[in-house]
Amino acid sequence: MKEYAGRMKVAIIAYGHADNVLCLSNNLSRYVDVTLIFVMSGNHFTRSIFDWDISRLSYGLTTDSEVVRGYLGNKLSTYISDKLKVFLARTPSLSLLREGAYGNLRYVREIAQYVRRAGFEVVHFNGSSGFQLYFQHYLRHLPKALTIHDYLPHSGEGTARRNLVNTLLNSIYSRSRYQFIQHYHFLSKRFAEFYGVHPQRVNTVYCGPLEIYRVFAHRDVKEDPNTILFFGRISKYKGLDYLVEAARIVRKSIKDTRIIVAGKGEIWFKIERDDRLFEIRNYHISNEELVDLIQRAALVVAPYTDATHSAVVMTSYAFCKPVVASSVSGIPEVVKDGITGRLVPPRDSKALAHALTELLQDRQKRDIMKRNIARFSNDGDISWDNISRATIAVYERAINSRGL
């Protein structure tokens, strides 16, 4: 890796994906000086690992480490390196044009002024927001990278108007001076093709195991060899209905199969909770509860009908849990069939049931997969060391080319 006089100074401005960006920033801080700024709006901020009442947080940029630590809490604070600075920034709303938009503009400008004065060499935006338009203007002379997690909306999610606005914003950003980051080669290619971006400006950098969740682990939780976990926000594209069909098939071979469904969202079909086959926790799952469920499960299942990036896979890998997933999007790049889990065709309940049954009945195979996940996480493409180096290479390209 290129050495700098001192260390490269990087500002990461994040709108969400808190678990992902905290892991990335923490690992990057071993090599470069990182300041992570979470931009949040309104009175509540719920993003993956965060569920915060921010009604008493001052508007604008908060750099007071004691205030930030108060929001992070003791467990998350123990994960964060002393080399990483974490700031919070609050705006009244997300509005760009309606009532309150001027206040939002004022506070975004305050963040941008701090970034300019602090002498950062590159700014990395993580996630999507209309505020990006403001930041583009105020930080137009700085080299920039942008991670867009969902280059297109998931099927069945959002309103037509909202999806159109998000796609339009991404189209605007794609014509701006950024180096882009996607988490799979599959998505890099699709993003470049859809928005007409030169492939040299689209970089594949994997997300690593979301190790930050380990701070919530309990040593005394035992694995249940017949428990399968489905977790995360519930939406139609997640394929829960196919899992329910598959579970009834699995139970014919393994009578005490247990399917835990954990996550907030509307379940759009009826699940008969008979014979303890299903355990439904249809609400926002706390970090502690989620980790307890992952530790208990023998397998994690992700039967998606379509996808972009899957945080479920990377959270499961943090605990070396094999994953049975649909072969969609770039998931085959991180779920290695027969090595770290099993891949099945989407919308195929019988194939899903067969894969689940096979792994539940073969503990030795699951144990081998766990060891493979550990090796893949420590030394492979998804190791945070390799991810950090790849991310810094993107920053270097942004600095050298200014995104042109």
65/236 Cα distance (integer angstroms) = 40
* 134 and 98 within one domain: yes
Mean per-residue pLDDT, 171-195: 93
Do 39 and 117 reside in the same domain of the chain? yes
Closest CA relative to residue 404, chosen from 177, 214, 209: 177
All residues at 6 or more sequence positions from 82 whose CB lies less than 8 Å from its CB, including other chains: none
**Same-domain pairing of 25 and 145:** yes
Yes or no: say if 219 and 297 are a contact pair by the CB < 8 Å rule: no
What pLDDT shows up at residue 232?
95
322 domain-assigned: yes
Q: Does some domain include residue 314?
A: yes
Residue 283 confidence class, pLDDT cut points 50, 70, 90: very high
139 and 29 in a single domain? The answer is yes
Please check the confidence at residue 3 and state whether its pLDDT lies above 60: no
pLDDT above 80 (res 101): no
Question: Can you give the pLDDT at residue 98?
Answer: 65
14 plus 161 within the same structural domain: yes
- Looking at the structure, do residues 356 and 397 belong to the same domain, yes or no? no
Which residues 6+ apart lie within 8 Å of 7 measured at CB? Answer: 31, 32, 33
Does residue 4 have a pLDDT over 80? no
Q: 135 lies in a domain?
A: yes
- As a whole number of angstroms, the distance between CA 321 and CA 297 comes to 8
| Sequence-distant (≥ 6) Cβ neighbours of residue 386 within 8 angstroms | 380
- Measured over the CA atoms of residue 268, residue 273, residue 278 and residue 280, the dihedral's sign is positive
CA distance 115 to 353: 51
CB proximity list for 39: less than 8 A, separation 6 or greater: 13, 14, 15, 89, 91, 108, 111, 129, 131
Cβ–Cβ under 8 Å, residues 357 and 250: yes
Return the structure tokens found at 176: 């701006």
- pLDDT of 205 strictly over 50: yes
Residue 71 placed within a domain = yes
Whether residue 318 is found in the same domain as residue 269: yes
Residue carrying structure tokens 């960006």: 21
Q: How many CB atoms lie within 10 A of CB 102?
A: 9
- pLDDT (0 to 100) of residue 255: 94
- DSSP letter for each residue of 94-162: S-SSSTTHHHHHHHHHHHHHHHHHHT-SEEEEES--TTHHHHHHHTTTS-EEEE-S-SSPPTT-S-HHH
Do the domain assignments include residue 338?
A: yes
**Structural domain contains residue 268:** yes
Q: For residue 158, what pLDDT band results from cuts at 50, 70 and 90?
A: low
End-to-end CA gap in the chain:
23
Percent of the chain, pLDDT > 70? 94
Question: Do residues 242 and 225 both lie within one domain?
Answer: yes
Query: Is residue 3, in this structure, part of any structural domain at all?
Result: no
Q: By C-alpha distance, which of 343, 333, 341 is closest to 366?
A: 341
Q: How far apart are CA 395 and CA 373, in angstroms?
A: 28
Within-domain flag for 2: no
Query: Is the pLDDT reported for residue 142 higher than 60?
Result: yes
Q: How confident is the model at residue 159 (pLDDT cuts 50, 70, 90)?
A: low
200 & 232 share domain = no
204 and 221 in a single domain? The answer is no
pLDDT greater than 70 at residue 207: yes
181 and 267, same domain (yes or no): no
Q: Is the separation of the CB atoms in 282 and 234 below 8 Å? A: yes
State the Cα–Cα distance between residues 197 and 348, nearest whole angstrom: 34
Other Cβ atoms closer than 10 A to 360: 20
Q: Which domain holds residue 81?
A: 9-208+383-401
Tell me the CATH number at 312. 3.40.50.2000
Tokens 């994040």, residue?
Answer: 14
Judge if 196 and 84 occupy the same domain.
Answer: yes
Q: Tell me: the pLDDT tens digits for 300-350?
A: 999 999 987 889 999 999 999 999 999 999 999 999 999 999 999 999 999
The total of other beta-carbon atoms located within 10 Å of residue 192's CB is: 19
Q: Which residue type, as a one-letter code, is found at position 214? A: R
Residues with Cβ < 8 Å from 52, sequence gap 6 or more?
40, 44, 45, 46, 71
Instruction: Domain count for the chain, please give it.
Output: 2
